[in-house]
Copies of this chain bind each other. A is one copy, B any other.
Amino acid sequence: MKLYDYPGVPNPRRLNIFMAEKGIKFPRIEVDLLKGEQLTADFRLKSPNCDVPVLELDDGTCISQTNAIARYLEARHPEPPLFGATDQEIGLVEMWNQICFTNGFQAVADLFRNGPDWFDGRALVGPHNYDKIPALVERGRQRIMNFYDDLNQHLAHRSYLAGNNFSMADITALVTIDFAEWAGVAMPDGHEHLHLWHQQISQRPSVVANS
C-alpha cells in the first residue's frame, strides 16, 4: 500500500494524526499541490475529486477522502478506536465529526479559497473550475466565530468532543482551528473551555509529530 500525500495542508494532516494515533505508516508519494499535480488526468484516475490524501491498496484500488481512508484503517486496525468504542459513541463521533467539518472546516475553506488571487477560478477543490465568490470570505469569518462559540459551550463539561475518549471528531476540530488561525481567524480570548481543550489535544504525541 502507499499513501499519496502533501504534508502540512489540513486534510492530509487529519489523516496523519489519525494514523499516528494507531501507529500506522505507509510509504508516501508526495503530490505537489502547488504545481497542480492533483489535477492531472493520471491522478484523477486515483482520486476522482482530485484531492489528497489517497490510499492505494495492493490490488490497485484507490480510496480517497480523509474520512474514507480513516474508516478503512479503523476496520483493519480497530485499536485504539477513533470512531467510537460503543454503539452510542459511534453515533456521537460521526455526529460531531460532521458538525465540525460542515460548520468549521468548510467555513475556513470558504474564507481561504475565495480571497487570494492564486485561487482565481479554483474556489472549490475538485476537477471543475469555479469562480470565487467574494461574499463567502466574510460569511466564512462569521461562521468560524460562531463555530468557536458553539464549541466552547459544548466543551464546558467535556474533555473530548464526543463520548469519553479522543476521537476523529477531536482531530477534525483541532485541524479546523489551526487552519482558521493560519488563515487569520484565531480563537477569541475568553473561550476558556475551547482554549483548554485545544491546549491539551495539542500535546498529544500524534499532534506534536504532525504540527
Contact = CB atoms under 8 A, between A and B. Distances in A.
A67 B88 contact: no
A63 B162 CA distance: 11
Contact of A99 (B65, B75, B93): B65
Interface of A: 48-49, 55, 57, 61, 63-65, 67-69, 71-72, 75-76, 83, 87-88, 90-95, 98-99, 102-103, 124, 126-128, 130-131, 133, 135-136, 139, 142-143, 146, 150, 154
B49 A67 contact: no
Contacts of A135: 133, 135
28 contacts: A48-B99, A48-B154, A49-B99, A49-B102, A55-B91, A61-B88, A61-B92, A63-B91, A63-B92, A63-B95, A64-B95, A65-B95, A68-B93, A68-B94, A68-B98, A71-B83, A71-B90, A71-B91, A72-B87, A72-B90, A72-B94, A75-B87, A76-B87, A124-B143, A127-B146, A128-B142, A128-B146, A133-B136
A98 B65 contact: yes
Contact of A143 (B72, B93, B102, B130): B130
Contacts of A61: 88, 92
Contacts of A93: 68
A95 to B, nearest CB: 4
